[in-house]
Amino acid sequence: MGTISIEKMDHLYWLGRYTERTYTTIREFFDGFDIMIEEPDYYITYCQYLDIPNVYESVSDFTKRYLFDMENINSVMATLNGIYDNAVVMRDAIGTESISYVELALSEMEMAKSTAESGFLMHLQRVIDYLLAFIACIDENVEERKIRGIFKTGKRQEKMDLLLRLRKNKEQVMKAFHMLTARVLRADLPINRKAYDELSVLVNEEELCYPELITLVENLFEV
């Protein structure tokens, strides 16, 4: 493929970020769903952690709109469609087979939306399964290293961002940082070296300063 245009680089980067965001937030929703049985107001804390507006009136409203409301830019449905939109633009680069898994994930999401009570969780699990297949398909079938690299870099940046926002423990954060570093050092993206150097120092502090780390991660690439 040779040189990748800035526009295509941007699509690949956000394809990676939306893929990780959808995958991780569904996984976190599973945990949160169990917590909300005992602590109905937990969704308020969840929104605060992810820095998204709490526009929800109740647990049931949160479950319905956070998962399925396309008018809500922070919903899982919206980020899943973000994967599809970027994947379609990059069809020639990532292949039709890869996109088919995103289409299957969208289909499962629509079925989850129309399924009563807790039965929708089964469809959400299938969304996760199809996203994993999508990631594996890109890794297996995309020959161009740059394409795979930009996609993975976006994924790993998003992973660390989410772990920090969700206040995960230092062991989890450090694992994500090491995986991100492996991509940063060979990324085909314009790096904000100052942000990376500061991040490398602060993440090794005994106590994690989550807000400052989040800001540095978000400004890691000039994309």
Angle CA(183)–CA(189)–CA(195) in degrees, nearest 5? 75
- Read off the pTM: 0.94
pLDDT tens digit at each of 223 positions of the chain: 557 888 999 999 999 999 999 999 999 999 999 999 999 999 999 999 898 999 999 999 999 999 999 999 999 999 999 999 999 999 999 999 999 999 999 999 999 999 867 789 999 999 999 999 999 999 999 999 999 999 999 999 999 999 999 999 999 999 999 999 988 878 788 899 999 999 999 999 999 999 999 999 999 987 6
**pLDDT 10s digits, 134-172:** 999 999 999 999 999 999 999 999 999 999 999 999 999
Single-letter residue type at 71 = E
Per DSSP, the residues of 143-206 read: --HHHHHHHHHHHHHHHHHHHHHTT--HHHHHHHHHHHHHHHTT-SS-B-HHHHHHHHHHTTSS
